[in-house]
């Protein structure tokens, strides 16, 4: 067993884990963060995407011991004071989901994309989310949702548009 200490969604956890335990397993099985979905177990689908120290990672390809000392942000950690993150709200408003299986990972990847490029073109959005697969939507509404969130998260957007925006650097804490 290996001892880890990690911050997940703003709370510090200390645990003994098997050295081969995946981060996605730790989040779901130990911490109950079931919004982080296990999709393919091969890092192809992106459903398990979380932020590790402010960058999106596929948690099925990261060992829990690699998160020792790190900050992890999951889909559950985005909501603040009863307000959805602007990306979550944009996915809702733009009907950017059908079955919802890919949605947590797609949202986490899209937030990371906007952290790198706050005003992406449609092509840049499609390229930025290409590691996350959706079998239902055809991506049109997902692209619209990312564009909508980008407009609301831009510096200079109205205070009501930015009210639930949270920093994503350093795991969003």
Burial category of 156 from C-beta neighbours within 10 Å (exposed 0-12, middle 13-18, buried 19 and up): exposed
Residue 157: per-residue pLDDT: 65
- Tell me the Ramachandran region of residue 147: left when phi exceeds 0, alpha when psi lies from -120 to 50, beta otherwise: alpha
Residue 60: per-residue pLDDT: 96
- The pTM assigned to this predicted structure is 0.88
**Cβ(159)–Cβ(105) under 8 Å?**
no
Both tokens of 117, joined, read: 């490029």
Ramachandran angles phi, psi of 58, nearest 5°: -85, 110
Encode the chain (173 residues) as per-residue pLDDT tens digits: 999 999 999 999 999 999 999 999 999 999 999 999 998 878 899 999 999 999 999 999 999 999 999 999 999 999 999 999 999 999 999 999 889 999 999 999 999 999 999 999 999 999 999 999 998 887 999 999 999 999 999 877 654 444 443 433 333 33
Residue 33: per-residue pLDDT: 97
SS3 109: helix
Instruction: Tell me the C-alpha distance between 145 and 128, whole Å.
Output: 14
Beta bridge partners of 58: 49
Instruction: Tell me the C-alpha distance between 139 and 149, whole Å.
Output: 15
Residue 18: per-residue pLDDT: 97
User: What Rg value do the Cα atoms of the chain yield, rounded?
Assistant: 16
Residue 43: per-residue pLDDT: 86
Give percent helix, percent strand, percent coil of the chain, each to the nearest 5.
Answer: 40, 15, 45
Other CB atoms within 10 Å distance of the CB of residue 19: 9
SS3 76: helix
Q: Which domains does the chain have, with CATH numbers?
A: 2-77 (3.10.20.30), 86-165 (1.10.150.120)
């Amino acid at each position: 067993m290996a001892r880890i200490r990690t911050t997940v969604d703003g709370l510090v956890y200390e645990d003994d884990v098997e050295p081969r335990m995946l981060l996605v397993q730790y989040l779901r099985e130990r911490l109950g963060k079931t919004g982080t979905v296990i999709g393919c177990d091969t890092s192809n689908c992106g459903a398990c995407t979380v932020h590790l120290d402010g960058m999106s990672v596929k948690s099925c390809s990261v060992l829990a011991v690699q998160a020792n000392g790190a900050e992890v942000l999951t889909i559950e950690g985005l909501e603040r004071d009863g307000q959805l993150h602007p990306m979550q709200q944009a996915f809702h408003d733009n009907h950017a989901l059908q079955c919802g299986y890919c949605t947590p990972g797609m949202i986490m990847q899209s937030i990371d994309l906007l952290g790198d490029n706050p005003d992406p073109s449609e092509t840049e959005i499609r390229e930025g989310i290409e590691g996350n697969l959706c079998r239902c939507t055809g991506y049109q509404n997902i692209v619209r949702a990312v564009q909508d969130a980008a407009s609301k998260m831009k510096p200079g957007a109205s205070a009501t548009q930015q009210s639930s925006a949270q920093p994503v650097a350093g795991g969003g804490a």
